[in-house]
Structure 1
């Protein structure tokens, strides 16, 4: 009998095949490819060459201008940095954690199809797990298995330190320029924009912000008991109260603007994904954006 991770991966592979085959271009066989370059040779400078490629040490020794030649690094190393804190377990329907899991597995499988390596950093308030990058379907299955395991239950009262998550990502991925996917709801301590900017300076960073519709528009459910998933604080509220709804709408708008400003400071554009979206449509959009950038 197939394991839950194998069943999930097979289902997503089938959906990926239907929606994304034909969009993979060139010899890379994937929509993302390595951003680095490898030095291969030296040759005499020609008038059309980029002067930035002149090797001044060789030019001085030989008394003739020489330029460096490079080949593009087609091997890609990708990292999935996934927030698994308490707030990610909130959600109506699929929920944010489930949405992030399916999207992460789909991205991992899509990238690994080109023979590229994928690793993962799973972060929560209590601990973290680093899965070193490897190629192949078995690696994607390993990441899937770990994502399907329940995250440790944190003690109430501590909000997520997103800065710590991003610093961990920077330290883990420091050896090689990589493509880094950061998946989080960005509910946590402020100040994450600086470590995100440092991570973006070193790598190509794709931020995926996972949002549940109930976080944006409060559903009218009458009087209910709500609990802060991060701190454990509970409060009895009347969701039909128009004043309360207006106040929450203003707070939501202010938070959205604050998040957008943080992303701008970090030099990153965030892909906003809601739990009720078609995730394959999200991937198709990401593929299109990657193609336009390239």
Structure 2
């Protein structure tokens, strides 16, 4: 979704406005309350102690309560009233692909719009680091609807990298580490293709921020249809290869794709990131709503159990 010279800007503005209205209408009800974030903001003030649950950060272990009760406990922190959210947006050429209702690049933009809506208000600020593989753009964290709209527009107009340029998600994440930023939420938007060489960078961010990984997927990246002989192209390198979609190849492709997604999910889990998957052939707004509701219920349940 980029603006062209001949009326493209007007079409872009109309598309972004429609996208924003779609997100706001479907997320109505989640935008109310004391904190509207996708994840509770990390706080600096200690809160209540509660029993340890698998997946809790062991650095928040409360050893005095653990010793007194002989059961492991962690101590929650009080969510900050003002949340600073940073979006790490991977716009590599592999996002220019889609065989269903939309392409992956649009899905990233939609997810960014949802993050902006769900973390807006109350003095919260939103910033972004955007990379297409060849250039990195840093958009400062500020508050307000006008800024959020401008940020989404800037991401939408980021040009596609030249052919042969690969994305570098690790470099994008490193941009958020130096200089260190105040504690907040980091939302990583990517298709996470390729080897997870970004794990070390993401793990380093987890020591200071809550992490949300939004993975965008197209169904043809998970399985090949039985269409005979086709020419497949790597969007980042431009290399092409003619293949016959035999039953054996399709099984091996599906197995490799499944193994890769399992590995990505495992790495994200080890880094302590909440993981949201959006597909081009699904109702992505409904998936975001279900994810946000589940996170809120889990957070509320943890708070009740510590009372």
**TM-score category, normalised to shorter length:** 0.7 to 0.9
1:81 and 2:76 correspond = no
Residue of structure 1 in register with 2:53 after alignment: none
Alignment partner of 1:147: what SS? helix
Q: Deviations over 1:108-146 (max 9, x none)?
A: 133224442111111121011011011112112211221
Residue of structure 2 in register with 1:265 after alignment: 270
Q: Which residue among 238, 249, 253 is the counterpart of 2:254?
A: 249
CA RMSD of aligned residues (A): 2.7
Q: Deviations over 1:15-37 (max 9, x none)?
A: 33432222344334556554224
Deviation at 1:84, TM superposition (A): 0.3
Q: Any conservation in 1 of the 2:186–2:210 contact (CA below 8 Å)?
A: yes
1:97 and 2:105 correspond = yes
Q: Any conservation in 2 of the 1:25–1:31 contact (CA below 8 Å)?
A: no
Listed as ranges, the gaps of 5+ residues in structure 2 are: 1-6, 47-61, 65-76, 300-307
Cα distance in 1 for partners of 2:160, 2:19 equals 26
Residue of structure 2 in register with 1:212 after alignment: 218
Cα distance in 2 for partners of 1:264, 1:27 equals 28
Residues 29 and 248 of structure 1, relative CA distance in 2, 3 Å threshold: closer
Alignment partner of 1:206: what SS? strand
Alignment partner of 2:224: what SS? coil
Residue of structure 2 in register with 1:58 after alignment: none
TM-score by length of 2: 0.76
Deviation at 1:72, TM superposition (A): 5.5
Residue of structure 1 in register with 2:151 after alignment: 143
Deviation at 1:12, TM superposition (A): 3.2
Residue of structure 1 in register with 2:28 after alignment: 21
Q: Any conservation in 1 of the 2:210–2:273 contact (CA below 8 Å)?
A: no
Give the ranges of 4+ consecutive aligned residues of structure 1 lying more than 4 Å apart after TM superposition. 29-33
Cα distance in 1 for partners of 2:35, 2:270 equals 32
Residues 111 and 127 of structure 1, relative CA distance in 2, 3 Å threshold: same
Cα distance in 1 for partners of 2:139, 2:85 equals 12
Listed as ranges, the gaps of 5+ residues in structure 1 are: 40-49, 53-69
Deviation at 1:106, TM superposition (A): 2.3
Q: Any conservation in 1 of the 2:20–2:113 contact (CA below 8 Å)?
A: no
1:198 and 2:204 correspond = yes
Residue of structure 2 in register with 1:275 after alignment: 280
Cα distance in 1 for partners of 2:204, 2:166 equals 22
Q: Any conservation in 2 of the 1:159–1:188 contact (CA below 8 Å)?
A: no
Alignment partner of 1:170: what SS? coil
TM-score by length of 1: 0.80
Cα distance in 2 for partners of 1:190, 1:27 equals 36
Q: Any conservation in 2 of the 1:89–1:97 contact (CA below 8 Å)?
A: yes
